[in-house]
Amino acid sequence: MYSKTRSKAVVIIVTVFSAVVSNFGVEKIVKLAVPLLVTVYPVVIVLIVLNIFDEFIKNKNCYAGAVYLTLIISIVDGLAAIGLNLKGVQNFVAKLPFASAGFAWILPAIIGLIIPLIFSRKQEA
């Protein structure tokens, strides 16, 4: 368990951090948060959806495949959100279905889900 000293230290650190960040203003906070959120949210959404259908997913490698491919696309989107220009990669991602709506990660997630299923069936045969 945590000691009272450690708990007090955590409370002080969080309070000081919050006080500093609150002085940045909403625009800067949003500007800092967007790249992180663009990167993390698709992975979280994929994990939630896979968890809903967990009883139907026999091969647990499907989780890894879907999450890794989603993460790759999300990282590219996150880097684009901070202004890093990866022309070739961003052009590829922009051509994916639903990319114009911010959902370029959907097709890679589905592919990452299906590939482990195909390989597991080949191994069973």
User: What is the rounded distance in angstroms from the CA atom of residue 67 to the CA atom of residue 71?
Assistant: 6
pLDDT tens by residue, 13-27: 999 998 998 888 888
pLDDT tens by residue, 68-105: 999 999 999 888 888 887 888 888 888 889 888 889 99
User: What is the rounded distance in angstroms from the CA atom of residue 65 to the CA atom of residue 82?
Assistant: 26
User: What is the rounded distance in angstroms from the CA atom of residue 82 to the CA atom of residue 36?
Assistant: 9
pTM (two decimals) = 0.75
